[in-house]
Amino acid sequence: MATKKQGKNNKRKQAIIRLVIMALILICVNILASYFHAGLDLTKENRFTLSGSTKKMLRNMQEVAVIDVYLKGKLPADLQRIQESVREELASFKDVAGNKIIYRFSDPFEGKNENEQKQIARDLQMKGIELMSLPSKEEEGYSVKVCFPYALLQYNGREMPISLLENAQGKSRSEQATYASALLEYKFASAINLLSKPIKPSIGYLYGNGEDLSIHSVDMLATLNANYKLDSLNLSRLIHISNAYDVIIINQPTVPFTEPDKLKIDQYIMRGGHVLWAVNTMNASMDSLSRGLQKFLAVENGLNLDDQLFKYGARINADLIEDKQCVPIPVMTTAGKPNLYDWVYFPRINPTGDHPIVRNMDFIIGGFTNSIDTITAGGIKSTVLLQTSKYSRTSSSPVTVSFTKINYPGRIENFNKPYRPVAVLLEGKFQSLYKNRLARSYLYTLDSLHEPFKPACDTQGSMIITSIGNVFQNDFSTKEGPMQLGYYKYTGDHFANKDFLLNCIEYLTDHTGILEARSKDVKMRLLDKGRAIEEKTQWQWINIAVPIAIVLVFASCYFFFRKRRYEVKTIKTAKNV
């Protein structure tokens, strides 16, 4: 009896020891799992795989990046999806950067009274973080939820807000959430990369040839000044353009360029400089129609840039594009009320290219726009970034612009010049316009500056040319003042003009390749509703029966091998006896 009791106690102790060991193993596994994160990306578009340039940047981080994500609490389903996507993306960042990435989720309004919430909202707004109100359906009815769909990145002694949402036109809220998730890697990586630079890249904004410096360029200049070191440069008063500027911008000039000024731009490019050209060759403006005229004649500006751009590999044509895919303008009716009518001269450009500058980008709004031809130039690679829709056409200068286009827009079969380029990227070793044709007086000027004339680039250069009218100009309201770049006040739509501007500048100034993260595409895989209804019973049986069958198979195998093992032991014991 004592022996049996002792045996039972030993078995009980062994069972307890096994349970304790199992609990310790589980605790250790969970602790290790909190520090180490591993996974296998089986998605077709590599949704959970960071790009090579992002990994390289994260491995080279010198400081700790602290990321506060203001998405927490009870949120609508679409924001919960974005919240989970942000969590997964930052976990992937932490896997590569280790302790150099710290992130936390919080609700700024949690536990705060009304006055404290107002002060918090004002403080966050000063940092570029806007409050968002969302209708929410609950059991008691509809209510309004407020949240901050932003993250605040603190790195290298500076901070930057990161918007987690995208206002994608023509997409449902679910599609917008998917669209926003596709851009998360780029947004966080780009922000860390920008803040990691001890000195901001320098941008020179040229003026002196009628470039826009009015109230319509306020948001463009403010946006650039927030992320870069921005200087305005009077081209006519400069002896030369310093290559301390990473990029120069030539935005909507209206006055012809002189040969000395063109030489300054040319030699800046030959010495490795980069240029963003926003040039329109036609003198066309809605101001003429707003003064009561029913039509006006659009003619060439005569900017004297044709030969220079041609030498680099592009030609901006003296024409105006008419596009069926366009935005409306208000027109007063006989009743004295304005109605909106499609205006074919204001194209709505849909970025469809695969280049990182325009990949996953929403529509871009344009004013009077010219078409661009790419020219074969030795060693120059041209990439079309933006183009018109399938239903577009061009009218060569001079062009009569008339309100009759509203009442008689033309038959769709007459819009027979589809996909006309309106923005191109040129890359390569550019040849100087003044090679073998430089005037002696210019040569003396260069020599006095101790800058010998360069007939060609020594290294790979790049420039972006766009002919979209007013592409970088913001609208204006007498009540609200300057509006955001890309906001169209007549419809209330937000276009991606600002994203296009920033992507162009980032591509021209940064050569780490972070922009390639924009190429990630997260696709929605929706259920086939018809097939789901038709095969409903079949899949219900599969979901119920298959797990039970798997358990029964494992249980049968377990009992079979257990029984066989004990039978073998019994036979051996009997033989020994």
User: Mind listing the pLDDT tens digit for each residue in 192-201?
Assistant: 998 888 888 9
pLDDT band with cut points at 50, 70 and 90 for residue 231: very high
* Lowest mean pLDDT segment, chosen from 31-40, 86-95, 414-423, 494-503: 31-40
User: What mean pLDDT comes out for the span 361-370?
Assistant: 91
* Per-residue pLDDT at 126: 87
Which residues are bridge partners to 349 per DSSP? 364
* Per-residue pLDDT at 410: 77
Mean pLDDT, the chain, integer: 83
**Structural domains for the chain:** 52-193 (3.40.30), 199-517 (3.40.50.880)
* Per-residue pLDDT at 422: 96
More confident residue, 480 or 450: 480
- pLDDT score of 45 more than 60: no
Please provide the DSSP assignment of 201-238 as one string.
PEEEEEESSS---SGGGHHHHHHHHHHSEEEEEEGGG-
- For the record, the structure tokens of 496 come out as 């991606």
Torsions phi, psi of 144, nearest 5?
Answer: -110, 125
Please state, in angstroms and as integers, the Cα–Cα distance from residue 520 to each residue in 179, 265, 286, 377, following that order: 10, 35, 39, 31
Count of C-beta atoms within a 10 Å radius of residue 40: 6
pLDDT band with cut points at 50, 70 and 90 for residue 352: confident
Interaxial angle between packed helices 173-182 and 77-97, expressed in degrees from 0 to 180 and rounded to the nearest 10: 10
Tens digit of each residue's pLDDT (9 = 90 or more) over 370-429 = 999 999 888 899 999 999 999 999 999 898 888 777 777 778 888 989 999 999 999 999
Tens digit of each residue's pLDDT (9 = 90 or more) over 10-44 = 767 776 777 778 778 878 776 766 555 555 555 55
- pLDDT score of 530 more than 80: no
* Per-residue pLDDT at 386: 95
Torsions phi, psi of 110, nearest 5?
Answer: -65, 125
148 three-class SS: coil
* Per-residue pLDDT at 407: 73
Of 194, 168, 166, 192, nearest to 180 by C-alpha is 166
CA distance 94 to 87: 10
The pTM of the full predicted model, rounded to 2 decimals, is: 0.78
